[in-house]
Structure 1
Amino acid sequence: MPDEYEIYKVFKDDIFGDKIVHLNPYLYNIRNNENFLEDYFVNEINELKDKINCYEDRLDKLNCKIGKVVDSLAWWIPFKKLRNKFRDKFLK
């Protein structure tokens, strides 16, 4: 199975050599940009990192809310040992 760079090279050498391609500015920029794949993958990786950071923030907020609920419920358990066991079950 060919990798993305081999596919790019086929497009660049064979298909982008056609005169019709020169009329489309987007395709012309791809044809003349040697770092097209690197730029594309760097942009995709940065977008994925941003999404991961967003989901990590949401997960942290959710964990904080769950911790507050568990602490509120644990408050009503009269014995400290049982209260700590209750918290450990939910927070670990």
Structure 2
Amino acid sequence: MYRIALHYGTTITAIADANGIANPTQISVGQQLVIPVTGVPTPTPAATETTYVVQVGDNLYRIGLRFGVSHLVIAAYNGLSDPSDIHVGQVLRIPLP
């Protein structure tokens, strides 16, 4: 297992632990092993929404154009029964397409 660990840049202990092997000297030819990888970044989940602070002159239609989302979707997403009822400084949640 030493050569395997050396080849993959890990340790014998890490390989043994990842595979539940109590005695690292007792592996068999053809036995499949999980090789733990270190230093590989874990992918982060893609964002599903962003926020936007309403500015002077904004309306949901323009905000929707900016983010590529229908103004009606933004209204529903934010629980707005009247899409024209937004005000400067209001924080809107915008679902990403």
Structure number having the greater helix percentage? 1
Q: Is the shorter-chain TM-score for this pair beyond 0.5, marking a shared fold?
A: no
TM-score (norm 2): 0.30
TM-score (structure 1 length as normaliser): 0.31
Q: Taking CA–CA contacts closer than 8 Å with sequence separation of 6 or more, which of the two structures ends up with the larger relative contact order?
A: 2
Pick the structure with more strand per residue. 2
